[in-house]
Chain A
Amino acid sequence: MRNVWEADTTLELEAAKPVELTLDHCIKCNICVTVCPVSAVTDLFPGPKYEAPQAGRFRQNKQPTPDYSVDYCSGCRACNLACPTGVKIAEINARARNDIVEEDKQSGRNKLRNNLVARPELLGKFGQPVAPLANFLLHGGIGRFFADKLLGIAPKAPLPVFSREKFSGWLKKRSAPANATRKIVYFRGCSTEYFEPRVGKAAVQVLEANGFEVLVPEQNCCGLPLLSNGEFDAARGYHESNIKKLIDYVKQGYVIVGTSTSCTLTLKEEAPELLDYFTEDARLLAANTFDLNEFLTMLLDAGELKTDGLRPIPLRLAYHQPCQFKAHRIGRPSVEIMDLIPELEIVESEATCCGVAGTYGYKSEKYQVAMDVGRPLFEFIHEVNGPVNVCDSETCRWQITAATGQASVHPIELLSAAYGYPPEGELAKVLLPLS
């Protein structure tokens, strides 16, 4: 039998299910309306049922868009998960947004802004090498004033901080562990490379502790920010390039793991589905891509995860599962993994969404909506009142921290610390006094 860390290259590849046709499954039961966090706080978005299965009927055959309110869908997918009949609401809305972009109906300012925020890789490549200057421009009062006025980026938008060191720079300085018995590919995502290398370091450490040699091939942005800003053609370019750069590893039998739940979801499903991109290579890549914690639970089930000698972490921490992780539809693997750490108490958030939804909450016209959507989560974080909180997705972490003033870490940072690796950043400040 195949080991869980070996890629499945003999898949029976299923045909794609058509996105738009699912609107015929809608029975108008309104359950989506009960879970939509956006329509709950603003009239600018009339709700999932209205936008997708109803307005969707008027959007077929490349007819002009009947309604621009669909741009206020944050793409969180809470509706998809609640729908009892399987309407692909968020995907229908994403495609409708793409139609608006293709019709070129956005204002020039929003178009420029969306083009920018949808390209974290480009921003990272230019900004990271001059991190102190870039951070000054991005986070200083003057920079933000002009960003708001000229670009429509909200003055308080939770933008990331460029890291002084790139993840790939750190990786180059290390040599592969001598005792590795198996290989795995790590999809780092833009945020690990340019903003939060500590997450990638923790991932590499955990995988190495489990006997893996971690390969980090050249790779591009997964394209999700482009997909959620309606730039499908550009997203297709990125996805094509990622397939080229990664598919040979899959064919050699290696699986791909990632710490950014939105990147892995894009490789698994978002890109192929939204772009109708179902080549054999695209499907092979999708079928062999895993969220890192999802993969660790599989190792755990197979009895192959290192669980002995874990150091206790005597903390009570709030955990919020990002929408983009819920959308993998695999339960809550991170909680299963964090449960292994002695003395760590995880309090799970039942809030729907932090509001930021990738780049949605950066935009001046949507910033307040995003903050209102996130309010129940922020209240929960304050209530638990830990020294840090835990969340799998980078933009959600930045949003939570900006809104609550509390640092936010990735679950893998906790496991890495429990394995005995020195924590970094805010987690170091919390854990070092305890040890």
Chain B
Amino acid sequence: MSNNNDVLVVGAGLAGLTAVWQLAAQQKKVRLVSKGWGATHWHSGCIDVLGYYPIDEGQPVESPGVTLAKLIADQPEHPYALVGVAGVETALTAFQTLCAEAGYPLHGSLDKNWLLPSAVGTFRPTCLAPETMIAGDLRRDDPMLIVGIKQLVDFYPNIVAENLVKQGVEAAHLMLDLPKLAQRNFNTPISIGSIMAQADFRKDLVQQIKPKLGKAKRVGLPAILGRQPSLAIKEDLEKQLGVPVFEIPGLPPSLPGMRLHAILLQAIERAGGRVYHGLEGVGIENEGGRVTAVLTEAASRPKAHRFERYVVATGGILGGGIVTNHHGEARELVFDLPVTLPESRLDWFEQDFMDPKGHPVYRAGLTVNAQFQPVNGGSQPVYENVYAAGITLSHSEVIRERSFEGVALSTGFAVGNLLAQ
């Protein structure tokens, strides 16, 4: 283990997986450790790059490429400023190539955001969307039928359709009762996703939808078109129905997110990288300004991972990489790196809960220098061999900006390539 271990990445969200993918693809000896699976199983399976900017104007971004340049000019500390528009584009293109090669293409570019329906029937701006979702494009005016399944309790087609109609989209809704699903008491996207692989189940589904199509020219379903990154289920449904089909991502577990996770894991393993989940980073050993080991929790004693360099990609407060307490202390959990956040807890929040400017605590995270090394004021790194990527970085509001996957993917990609040099 001590012989030539290049990089250890902590965290298995999109940022960590992307960094390891890039490093492994460039023949580095890499390992990823994570507490468990995470953001990839929760997100929509789309790559949001920039959905709203300025956030408080509430208008969806038309061209993320153009607006990204403006954001970078306005906010030189934003993670996107470290990567640059060209860097974001390189990362997106590489990821699109990877997914296309896996038989699961992501469509779109920085030129124009998609507008796709959300699970409550709002307009969802996103940059890259899988082929299983793009027929939901809300700029098209062909009428849609939103179909739910009674046995899947987390998706309500009437809410989706009624809200879309209010916004001028022609949409009808249909709730199906599928006896074959009633054989199971507990249906989740996981169980339905696997039963969707059965041809006779799809036939039943189509037979129930087809007579109710009405004037609909496309059909929206919850995100249940299979667990595998494949278009086979979608294409079969379209062939039988005679109209395009699209998925609407909803509550976790998210099959579209898991498909991207599977594609990345496969790419990493094929290139000889290692991903170990269930290994929670709990501390480090350091010597003379360098980290010499990351310790992970294990049965009866911590395990030490000794590498040349380390990447922290454990997420922010929501993802669990940073914890705060009611004394107003904030701490990065593995390396104990300094967190950028207003000193007094009183200043973490605005007066109004729904303040359109958001709360300062949303921007909490690690501040890094141009080489993605966490710093403690100034540009001198805290440790010379520690780097950070993803949502753990400060100065962005990924959820309100709708930049979550874009920040994770592009910074993970940039750090991976920086360390592969």
A residues adjacent to B (C-beta < 8 A): 29-31, 33-35, 39-40, 43, 46-47, 50, 80-86, 265, 268-269, 286-287, 289, 297, 300-301, 326-332, 336, 350
Interface size class of B (residues with CB under 8 A): 35 or more
Would you call the interface of chain B mostly helix, strand, loop, or mixed?
A: loop
Question: In the complex, are the beta carbons of B1 and A301 less than 8 A apart?
Answer: yes
A94 to chain B minimum Cβ distance, whole angstroms, is 15
Question: In the complex, are the beta carbons of A39 and B186 less than 8 A apart?
Answer: yes
Given the interface pairs A46-B185, A301-B1, the reply to whether A86 lies near B280 with Cβ below 8 Å is yes
Partner of A329, one of B41, B191, B296, B319: B296
Question: In the complex, are the beta carbons of A85 and B36 less than 8 A apart?
Answer: yes
Question: In the complex, are the beta carbons of A81 and B188 less than 8 A apart?
Answer: no
Known: A35-B37, A46-B185. 10 other contacts (CB 8 A): A30-B41, A31-B252, A33-B253, A43-B184, A85-B320, A86-B35, A86-B280, A268-B300, A297-B1, A331-B303
Question: In the complex, are the beta carbons of A82 and B1 less than 8 A apart?
Answer: no
**Max chain A Cβ within 10 angstroms of own Cβ: one of B185, B191, B251, B258:** B191
Question: In the complex, are the beta carbons of B299 and A327 less than 8 A apart?
Answer: yes
A47 neighbours in B (Cβ, 8 Å): 186, 188
The 10 closest A-B pairs by CB, nearest first: A81-B278, A268-B300, A84-B36, A269-B299, A329-B298, A286-B300, A268-B299, A30-B253, A84-B38, A34-B253
* A269 to B300 Cα, complex, angstroms: 6
* A64 to B52 Cα, complex, angstroms: 52
Chain A CB within 8 A of B42 CB: yes
B183 neighbours in A (Cβ, 8 Å): 43
* A43 to B1 Cα, complex, angstroms: 43
Question: Which of chain B's residues 10-59 have a Cβ closer than 8 Å to chain A?
Answer: 31, 35-38, 41-42
Chain A CB within 8 A of B2 CB: yes
* A34 to B125 Cα, complex, angstroms: 27
A310 to chain B minimum Cβ distance, whole angstroms, is 16
A31 neighbours in B (Cβ, 8 Å): 36-38, 41, 252-253
Name 15 A/B residue pairs within 8 A (Cβ), A-sorted: A29-B41, A31-B38, A47-B188, A50-B186, A81-B36, A84-B37, A86-B36, A287-B300, A289-B300, A297-B1, A328-B299, A329-B297, A329-B298, A331-B31, A332-B276
B186 neighbours in A (Cβ, 8 Å): 39, 43, 46-47, 50
Chain A CB within 8 A of B277 CB: yes
* A34 to B38 Cα, complex, angstroms: 12
A35 neighbours in B (Cβ, 8 Å): 37
* A47 to B320 Cα, complex, angstroms: 24
A331 neighbours in B (Cβ, 8 Å): 31, 274, 276, 279, 303
Partner of B35, one of A39, A84, A297, A326: A84
* A269 to B41 Cα, complex, angstroms: 29
Question: In the complex, are the beta carbons of B41 and A34 less than 8 A apart?
Answer: yes
Partner of A336, one of B1, B303, B306: B1
Question: In the complex, are the beta carbons of A81 and B184 less than 8 A apart?
Answer: no
Partner of A81, one of B31, B185, B277: B277
Question: In the complex, are the beta carbons of B274 and A40 less than 8 A apart?
Answer: no
Question: In the complex, are the beta carbons of A83 and B36 less than 8 A apart?
Answer: yes
B207 neighbours in A (Cβ, 8 Å): none
B258 neighbours in A (Cβ, 8 Å): 34
Question: In the complex, are the beta carbons of B274 and A82 less than 8 A apart?
Answer: no
Given the interface pairs A82-B36, A330-B303, the reply to whether A34 lies near B190 with Cβ below 8 Å is yes
A33 to chain B minimum Cβ distance, whole angstroms, is 6
Question: In the complex, are the beta carbons of B277 and A82 less than 8 A apart?
Answer: yes
* A398 to B186 Cα, complex, angstroms: 32
A327 neighbours in B (Cβ, 8 Å): 278, 299
Chain A residue nearest in CB terms to B154: A30
Chain B residue nearest in CB terms to A264: B299
Partner of A300, one of B1, B184, B276: B1
